[in-house]
Amino acid sequence: MPELPEVETTVKGINSRVLNRTFVNLWTDSESIIKKPEFKEFEKEIKGKKILRAFRRGKNIIIELSGGYSMLIHQKMTGHLLYGKWKLKNGVWESEEEGFMRDPKNQFIRLMFFLDNEKMLALSDLRKFAKVELYKPGELEKSESFKKLGPEPLEEGFNFKKFKGIFQNKKGKIKQTLMDQELMVGVGNIYSDEALWQAKIHPLKETSKLTEEELEKLFQAIKDVLKKGIILGGESFADYRNIDGKKGEFDDERKAYKREGEKCYSCKTIIKRIKIGGRSACFCPSCQTL
């Protein structure tokens, strides 16, 4: 699932490619992706709306539109936005551009927005889990799912004191706690593995038992891996691609995530994988002890 760096990369792509463009039409083969309002109303409302700016809140992409409307896109497990030009051939969208758009991961077009410059903003999503919602003026900030989101780990005011207050005395394993979007947004399976490896904390350690020193190391590690993820354009081990269809470059920086059976970069011990609450965690059993 795209996490904070991947979503931030997509937002930057939207802001550099499609600002001031207007939606003139749309197509979908999966109306269920549109969660709010029902599809016919969404189709009617979106036409003629101009893209003013995009920003990120947690793992959500927010596109501000003319008339005070906001469109929320959550890419979920396998979704990513693409900007280019396609043609429909035998029921399949084919890119008219050579290069990255021909990547097989970019071929699962589920939703296509036609723009006023004869180009398109497309949503590719293998598993069809992504969601799109359109909010009228003032609705987004009042929505329950939006209000429940925790603080942003990279915002200027998010200091160690606030971080400590959020995670200290919380029950549960630290791996799961890090991914709780009501406590802090943007961190998922990828960057929790990476931050825990850097901070040398076992993913099964009880959150409430972390020492002050461990919390400080974890706080810094989270900021480090997220910032590096943004600089490198995200992680594309699986499905994620940026708006130009290109892979992110964080894959070569992975120290723990998806490295089961490989040697730890620090001590050469073999990286192990365990299951925690239905999710995987990769870690070094030597560096990250309980």
Backbone angles phi, psi at 38, to 5 degrees: -65, 160
Q: Confirm whether 272 is domain-assigned.
A: yes
Q: Confirm whether 290 is domain-assigned.
A: no
* Structure confidence at residue 15 as a pLDDT band (50, 70, 90): very high
DSSP string over 179-204: T-TTTSSS--HHHHHHHHHHHT--TT
For the stretch 152-203, pLDDT in tens is 999 999 999 999 999 888 999 999 999 999 999 999 999 999 999 999 999 9
For the stretch 119-145, pLDDT in tens is 999 999 999 999 999 999 999 999 987
Q: Inter-axis angle of helices 212-231 and 4-17, to 10 degrees?
A: 30
* Structure confidence at residue 272 as a pLDDT band (50, 70, 90): very high
Pair (169, 215) in one structural domain: yes
Give the percent of the chain with pLDDT over 70: 100
Task: Quote the pLDDT of residue 169.
Answer: 84
Pair (213, 265) in one structural domain: yes
DSSP label of 145: H
**Residue of 199, 137, 183 lying closest to 191 (CA atoms):** 199
Pair (15, 130) in one structural domain: yes
Distance from first CA to last CA of the chain, Å, rounded? 28
DSSP label of 170: -
Pair (166, 115) in one structural domain: no
Task: Quote the pLDDT of residue 145.
Answer: 76
For the stretch 228-246, pLDDT in tens is 999 999 999 999 999 999 9
* Structure confidence at residue 78 as a pLDDT band (50, 70, 90): very high
Length of the chain measured in residues: 290
Tell me, yes or no, if 3 is annotated catalytic: yes
* Average pLDDT score over residue span 69-91: 96
Catalytic residue among 2, 5, 153, 203: 2
Pair (132, 237) in one structural domain: no
Q: How many Cβ atoms sit within 10 Å of the Cβ of residue 249? A: 15
Tell me, yes or no, if 59 is annotated catalytic: yes
Q: Which of 105, 120, 147 is the last residue of a domain?
A: 147
**Residue of 120, 112, 124 lying closest to 80 (CA atoms):** 124
**CA distances from residue 243 to 12, 82, 248 in whole angstroms, order as listed:** 9, 4, 11
Tell me, yes or no, if 212 is annotated catalytic: no
CATH value at residue 39: 3.20.190.10
What's the token pair of residue 243? Answer: 């708006």
Task: Report the Cα 45 to chain-centroid distance in Å.
Answer: 26
Handedness of CA 148, 150, 155, 159 (dihedral sign): positive
Tell me, yes or no, if 12 is annotated catalytic: no
Catalytic residue among 17, 49, 56, 59: 59
Rounded to whole angstroms, the Cα distance separating 110 from 36 reads 16
Q: How many Cβ atoms sit within 10 Å of the Cβ of residue 252? A: 7
pLDDT at 286 > cutoff 90: yes
Rounded to whole angstroms, the Cα distance separating 261 from 272 reads 6
For the stretch 26-38, pLDDT in tens is 999 999 999 999 9
Residue with tokens 């825990």: 196
What's the token pair of residue 212? Answer: 């002050």
Task: Quote the pLDDT of residue 52.
Answer: 98
Q: Which of 97, 123, 147 is the last residue of a domain?
A: 147
